Structure 1
Amino acid sequence: METRTCVCFLLLLGTLNLVASSDLNQRILKNTLHNVNTTVDPCTDFYQYIGGNKKKDQETSYTKEIGEIREKFNLRLVPIFEDLGQRKFIDELGVEEKLWRFYKSCERSINATGSERVYLKLVPPAKNFNWPQFYSSTREWSSAKFDFMTALGNLRNYAVNDIFFSVFYSNDFYDSTSSLVTFASPKTDEVFALPSESHLKELLIRQDFSHLRAVYLAKAIGRLDRELRQLHQYDDKNPTILTVAEMENEENGGLSWRKFLKAYLDTKIERDYQLQVFNIDYFKSLGPLLEKYDSEVIATYIMVRFVHFVTNTGYFPSGDNSHDCINVVGYQMQYATKLLYEDRYLGNGELQKYQSEINRLFQAIGTKILKKLEENHFQLNDSQILALQEKILAMDLNLNNMPTMTQRRRFVNDYYRDLELTGYEDYPEAQLKVLKCFARRMQKVSSSYEYFYILNLSLEEGYSSTMMLDLTNIIVIESPVLQEPYFVHNSHDIFKMSFLGVMIAKQLTSTILPTRIYYDAQGNIYDLFDNFANNEHYKDALKCVNKSQPEYLEWSITYISAVQLAYETYFDSDSIFDQTQPDFTSIPLKQLFIQNSAKLFIGDLEPNSDNDPEEKTLKVIFANTKAFSEAFQCPQSADGMNPIVKCKIFES
């Protein structure tokens, strides 16, 4: 009797699991089809068919700023912060308390009048020396005492970067077992745009500059910003290793790097201290450019950049302080937020289930790309093929850019150990403490288990669901994407492969294309592929894509490859995935794959520009895949969705 009861219970449990799984798949399917317009022929207008126009009309400016995935993630953070308000802490002396105190400071005073001045009072350009407007006259503010390199080094300790240059700790690109302070030209496309001249003038007047002085300085720093953006910048794959003394030579720009490093690292720097420098030509031009401007203009430019950074980092006002501060805190205390999110939504073995499923996709896609390498469409030599195979085989996955499961709480508590918040600070003071903690951790690279995790967290960059850490050969998957309707571990494989699978395929293919092919399996730069950009097969692909999408050549080639690679991984005869038509839909799986993967390219799943040519992007990517022509059986035409000649990357 007991045996029969046990069997019945197990059968009931299995039935309930099947029902729950069916309901989950129905919900994801509903989301996928929400904007699909079946009255439109996908062969003639795929953008209208997939609902790209509807999707764009539905999005708010807030969604555009932070991305749909991050917005849904923030909504899931709300009950976590509600619990923190009830003092439901796992560790009363741990990271929960610090997160809550920062959140309350934000909620209480993030919109306080005069906060810009508070930041400037709290962070002067140097010890015992203040910003120009805090003196009674320009004459009293001594330009001779102002050293902009010292000011930049001081601000870097509050995570401020990319003013005149970018600086960060990184692996030695020629020896990934050691690290160097690394300099590069600023990421002008990613840093906040300088306000208009009229807004600059208003900002300066708020900081107590006279009207006349504000007019002059607004024009001057606007001109300086334009000239900086026009300096010679290029994507330098191979950095130069130089000593501080060599960088201070006039031929390399003549800037006072020892002063910057002394303020940044708080230690005396010797002349033979080695630096890693990308785009040395930029620095050669930077020194002479800055010499054209007087000290007050340079100081004011730095000040404006600093104020803009601290008042905008993670802050996208929606009119609801409590909601906005969840995003602010989640952005500026990323590891603490990730840990609490995992505890609530990915506990009780859920995180391990996600890791197992993601790894299953990764292994399948990796196996397929290894076969592509064996087919040798790029006509590589044996050494090159072997090097790429070793790189793919050595590649690893990581969830949330954190150490392994057992170390996660210890890692996060250690990360914020030096952060001391009373809970009574106004937001500017609390934020500066958080930023200083972040910057300090970026400098501490002695602990091997945390080195790469700290190194690659950035406040300047927007949210991304996946990223490739070239120097460690690791693909990182962020937890916001591990939710409905994006990726759920027990959903149907078609949804998993057509969404996150395409993202993983994108990271894998990019490692063997010119964007990342120059790194070996250990993350070192090597010269085995120095001439790959001249590869005839690759040049033909560039030329083909250039005809329809010249703005995003390498990006388009990578995603064409990624969609096709994920599709073949799922549907080829050697696939490990079930291709049987599921009960929850009558839509052919190949069409469902295209419909779900198309979501990656319409709307704003991640922060995006209004200028992103979605319609053109969709056509370039899907028209050049066999996946689309097989799924929809479109007639061949010269410039339709099934062109007679497709752009070929991993096929001949």
Structure 2
Amino acid sequence: MVSLSVASSANNVCATPGCIQSALNVLSDVDFNVDPCSDFYQYTCGGWLKNATIPDSESSIGAFYHLRDANLEVIEKILTTENYEDLGLVTTGEEEKAADQSNFSLVKSFFQSCMDEDTLNKLGTRPLEDFLATLLNDDMIDTLVRLELTGASNPLFSANVNPDEKNPNQNVIALTQPPLGLPSKEYFQQKDLMNVYRKTMKTLAKLVIPSLDDEGIDTIVDFETQLASISTSLEDLQNPLESYNPVTLKDLEQRYAFFDWRQFFDKVTAGTIPEKVILATPGYFDSLAKLWTETNGDLIKNYILLASVRQTVHLVDKATTDLLEDVNSKLTGRKTTPPRVRTCIHRTNEAFGDLLGHYFINLAFDDHDSTSQKVREQLNAIHDIYAQRLATIDWLDESTRKTAMDKIKKMTIKSMYSTVSPDIRSPLSLKKYYEDIAAKIKPDTQFDNNLAIATWMASEKWTSLNQSVDKDKWFMVPQVVNAYFTPTFNQVVVPAGILQPPFFDMNSAALSLGGIGVVIGHELTHGFDNNGRLYDGDGVLTQWWSDETMKKFNNKAQCFIDQYNGFSIQGPDGQDHHVNGKMTLGENMADNGGISLAYEAFSKNPQLRLSGMDVSPESLFFINFGRVWCEKTRPERAIQKILGDVHSPARVRVNAAVQNMPEFAKAFNCPANAPMNPTNKCKLW
């Protein structure tokens, strides 16, 4: 057992009630019987793991999920409050109060339509059948156009409107492969799962598309399996230069003459036919062209119809929705469906996240201005440290360094919530933002409400093609427990939802920097990871690295690939499944950069211990880094993440990162070549 004792003195210990509570929270998670130098994740999460039980309706639990659930409890309080006045909000005038009341009624109506199971069960599958009826008589083009304009997923290809990565102030259409009925292409090769999937599709089809027999369903699933086989793997989608393939509309028509692209774009854009599009997965479209010409048109149309059923069946009666549970259970390991109220909270959040964010901020934070100021100080401090490193790091040539310095200088950092597009603080801004959808939401029409929301979002998407890129728009709502970096915006965003314990702790800088400090550093590092490094300070995708420096970068990157390839998790089959170090490279680099940057920020000033814990502040920093990743996951879900998630498993994220930190080994007195202190360490920034 490694000793963590440090000399005690009254002037280096925080003994406030807040610090005492923080210490108790940490003590409940850590297992001091484990050697941190052998398995730091087990050390920092061992106590938590002993007491954690995954609910039957969940596939994972952990610190992220616990905070997510706490935030959802605030949302539930909002949505289940009968009267607006009972929220106890303070508004600045009658007009603002009236707007706030109207917004509250809007989200309540949407939520109530989801919770009204009696009406849902009486309607049965009729709303879905009515929707399918609008597709049955359409030709192929009009069917896909209708799916695009109603926000339903196109199961043959995805057409998105995104910033042009070579001209990020202008939007452009990007064509890519579609999401399929299973999480990743590898699942279509698993015989047991495919048997369950086929059975489920047959049962659903008999309810809403009785014209399809079992043989026809098998043919449709075989066709989807072919689509999976020609899809580009997630590992091969990690290089944005390879995904940027601009073509003129004329070239697109000549190259893929199997489809009338001009007519399709004319209808979805209301006559704004694009001069060019970006092919993100050209290999997929090359193979799709061949597959399309070899496949009967009726089969393709029936695949579209069945895929539409699969994508919308969760919006009908309980008995029909529950038919998906066999597949979901096979994929995630969960044993029951989530409580209805949780499902409806999620759906309302997805539909009206910004609006709910307004109420969340006011109810979850007693003083969100103080939180914002403290987080801003940490954001700025870690940003400045990164800039200092770029200025002095020895493997960058001067030309590359100059562009890197320009990029970090231009990088914008936002926290808490949007104040522009829309302004989360303002009921009037929010009412205007949602004004085109408000009149269409009714308290007893769940299917129609969700279709209206999807149609509104699709309209927003296609309308944006004619507009400049809105760089004030956030891609996460305030209550989300996450953060992100947008390369074409050169922008880091940290929503309010994650700015709470265990990530952010007003009582302890060691805890905060080990938690949210690492998250901030993680997102900053994304600007210079294997993908982010290919965008300059203005968000333009360009190869601005010299050949010599790029070679050095790739050599350093290979160290991370090799290190993470050595980790594995155990699947439901009892077999080890290795982490894909190449697929997860960007996130692994960000984890390592994040903890290194945050630790340097932590070390700038003397830090206090927590009362009741004979643990140094340095050790406490690493402990909190580890405990925010405490997680228990069902094996089925663990495999799903290995195959389809660019993040490494939680245990790997913790142990691999500290292996590369000499400061960790020093804090815990780890001997040389201990499992958490290998001689070979990977370092980029």
Q: TM-score, normalised by structure 1?
A: 0.82
**Bigger relative contact order, structure 1 or 2 (CA pairs below 8 A, ≥6 apart):** 2
2:44 to 28, 50, 73: 50
2:652 is the counterpart of 1:649: no
Map of 2:396 onto structure 1: 380
Map of 2:292 onto structure 1: 290
Map of 1:69 onto structure 2: 67
2:35 is the counterpart of 1:34: no
Map of 1:198 onto structure 2: 199
Map of 1:264 onto structure 2: 268
Map of 1:164 onto structure 2: 156
Q: TM-score, normalised by structure 2?
A: 0.78
Report the 3-state secondary structure (helix = DSSP H, G, I; strand = E; otherwise coil) of the residue aligned with 2:534. coil
Matches for 1:181-580 after TM superposition, within 5 Å? 181-186=173-178, 196-209=197-210, 213-231=212-230, 233=232, 234-235=236-237, 236-238=239-241, 239-249=244-254, 251-252=255-256, 254-265=258-269, 267-270=270-273, 273-312=275-314, 318=337, 320-346=339-365, 350-377=367-394, 379-399=395-415, 402-404=418-420, 407-408=423-424, 409=426, 410-419=428-437, 420-421=439-440, 423-445=442-464, 451-452=470-471, 456=475, 465-488=482-505, 490-529=506-545, 534-543=550-559, 545-547=561-563, 548-549=566-567, 551-553=580-582, 554=585, 555-571=587-603, 575=604, 577-580=605-608
Shift of 1:646: 1.4
Map of 2:668 onto structure 1: 632
Give the Cα–Cα distance (whole angstroms) in 1 for the partners of residues 606 and 469 of structure 2: 39
Report the 3-state secondary structure (helix = DSSP H, G, I; strand = E; otherwise coil) of the residue aligned with 1:177. strand
Shift of 1:116: 4.5
Give the Cα–Cα distance (whole angstroms) in 2 for the partners of residues 294 and 358 of structure 1: 58
Code of the aligned partner of 2:248: T
Shift of 1:159: 2.8
Report the 3-state secondary structure (helix = DSSP H, G, I; strand = E; otherwise coil) of the residue aligned with 2:278. strand
Shift of 1:629: 0.6
Give the Cα–Cα distance (whole angstroms) in 1 for the partners of residues 421 and 139 of structure 2: 48
Q: Verify the 8 A CA contact 1:253 1:285 in the aligned structure 2.
A: no
Shift of 1:186: 3.1
Cα deviation digits, residues 523-550 of structure 1 (max 9, x gap): 1112213858952353244235414245
Code of the aligned partner of 1:519: Y
Q: Verify the 8 A CA contact 2:128 2:313 in the aligned structure 1.
A: no
Give the Cα–Cα distance (whole angstroms) in 1 for the partners of residues 351 and 421 of structure 2: 22
Deviates more, 1:620-629 or 1:157-166: 157-166
Shift of 1:508: 1.0
Cα deviation digits, residues 335-368 of structure 1 (max 9, x gap): 1221221232347xx3332322222111111111
Map of 1:151 onto structure 2: 143
Give the Cα–Cα distance (whole angstroms) in 2 for the partners of residues 482 and 351 of structure 1: 10
Number of positions where the alignment pairs a residue of Structure 1 with one of Structure 2: 598
Deviates more, 1:399-408 or 1:596-605: 399-408
Report the CA distance shift for 1:221/1:23 in structure 2 as closer, same or farther (over 3 A): farther
2:98 is the counterpart of 1:91: yes
Name stretches of at least 5 consecutive residues in structure 1 with no aligned partner: 1-18, 131-144
Report the 3-state secondary structure (helix = DSSP H, G, I; strand = E; otherwise coil) of the residue aligned with 1:180. strand
Map of 1:7 onto structure 2: none
Shift of 1:87: 6.3
Shift of 1:588: 0.9
Report the CA distance shift for 1:262/1:330 in structure 2 as closer, same or farther (over 3 A): same
Give the Cα–Cα distance (whole angstroms) in 1 for the partners of residues 467 and 369 of structure 2: 24
Aligned-residue RMSD, C-alpha: 3.6
Name stretches of at least 5 consecutive residues in structure 2 with no aligned partner: 1-12, 88-96, 189-195, 316-320, 322-327, 329-335, 568-578, 643-648
Q: Verify the 8 A CA contact 1:403 1:450 in the aligned structure 2.
A: no
Q: Verify the 8 A CA contact 2:14 2:610 in the aligned structure 1.
A: no
Shift of 1:604: 6.4
Identical-residue share of aligned pairs (%): 17
Code of the aligned partner of 1:334: G
Give the Cα–Cα distance (whole angstroms) in 1 for the partners of residues 546 and 177 of structure 2: 22
Deviates more, 1:445-454 or 1:414-423: 445-454
2:109 is the counterpart of 1:101: yes
2:620 is the counterpart of 1:603: no
Cα deviation digits, residues 209-235 of structure 1 (max 9, x gap): 25xx33123322222222222225232
Give the Cα–Cα distance (whole angstroms) in 1 for the partners of residues 166 and 206 of structure 2: 49
Q: Verify the 8 A CA contact 1:514 1:533 in the aligned structure 2.
A: no
Give the Cα–Cα distance (whole angstroms) in 2 for the partners of residues 541 and 26 of structure 1: 41
Shift of 1:634: 0.8
Report the 3-state secondary structure (helix = DSSP H, G, I; strand = E; otherwise coil) of the residue aligned with 1:268. coil
Q: Verify the 8 A CA contact 1:533 1:539 in the aligned structure 2.
A: no
Shift of 1:113: 6.3
Report the 3-state secondary structure (helix = DSSP H, G, I; strand = E; otherwise coil) of the residue aligned with 1:472. coil
Shift of 1:319: 5.3
Q: Verify the 8 A CA contact 2:484 2:492 in the aligned structure 1.
A: yes
Cα deviation digits, residues 571-601 of structure 1 (max 9, x gap): 1xxx1x4424344643211111111111343
Report the CA distance shift for 1:544/1:513 in structure 2 as closer, same or farther (over 3 A): closer
Give the Cα–Cα distance (whole angstroms) in 1 for the partners of residues 625 and 632 of structure 2: 14
Give the Cα–Cα distance (whole angstroms) in 2 for the partners of residues 310 and 401 of structure 1: 31
Report the 3-state secondary structure (helix = DSSP H, G, I; strand = E; otherwise coil) of the residue aligned with 1:485. coil
Report the CA distance shift for 1:468/1:225 in structure 2 as closer, same or farther (over 3 A): same
Shift of 1:481: 1.3
Matches for 1:605-620 after TM superposition, within 5 Å? 609-611=637-639, 613-620=649-656
Q: Verify the 8 A CA contact 2:157 2:175 in the aligned structure 1.
A: yes
Shift of 1:279: 2.5
Give the Cα–Cα distance (whole angstroms) in 2 for the partners of residues 449 and 95 of structure 1: 28
Shift of 1:464: 5.5
Give the Cα–Cα distance (whole angstroms) in 1 for the partners of residues 364 and 71 of structure 2: 11
Report the 3-state secondary structure (helix = DSSP H, G, I; strand = E; otherwise coil) of the residue aligned with 1:200. helix
Q: Verify the 8 A CA contact 1:559 1:621 in the aligned structure 2.
A: yes
Shift of 1:197: 0.7
Report the CA distance shift for 1:479/1:150 in structure 2 as closer, same or farther (over 3 A): farther
Give the Cα–Cα distance (whole angstroms) in 1 for the partners of residues 543 and 380 of structure 2: 28
Q: Verify the 8 A CA contact 2:561 2:581 in the aligned structure 1.
A: no
2:657 to 604, 621, 636: 621
Shift of 1:106: 0.6
Report the CA distance shift for 1:43/1:422 in structure 2 as closer, same or farther (over 3 A): closer
Cα deviation digits, residues 354-404 of structure 1 (max 9, x gap): 322222111111111122212324x22222112111211211222466234
Cα deviation digits, residues 95-146 of structure 1 (max 9, x gap): 22211110110110385366544134135554xx44xxxxxxxxxxxxxx63
Report the CA distance shift for 1:425/1:277 in structure 2 as closer, same or farther (over 3 A): same
Map of 1:10 onto structure 2: none
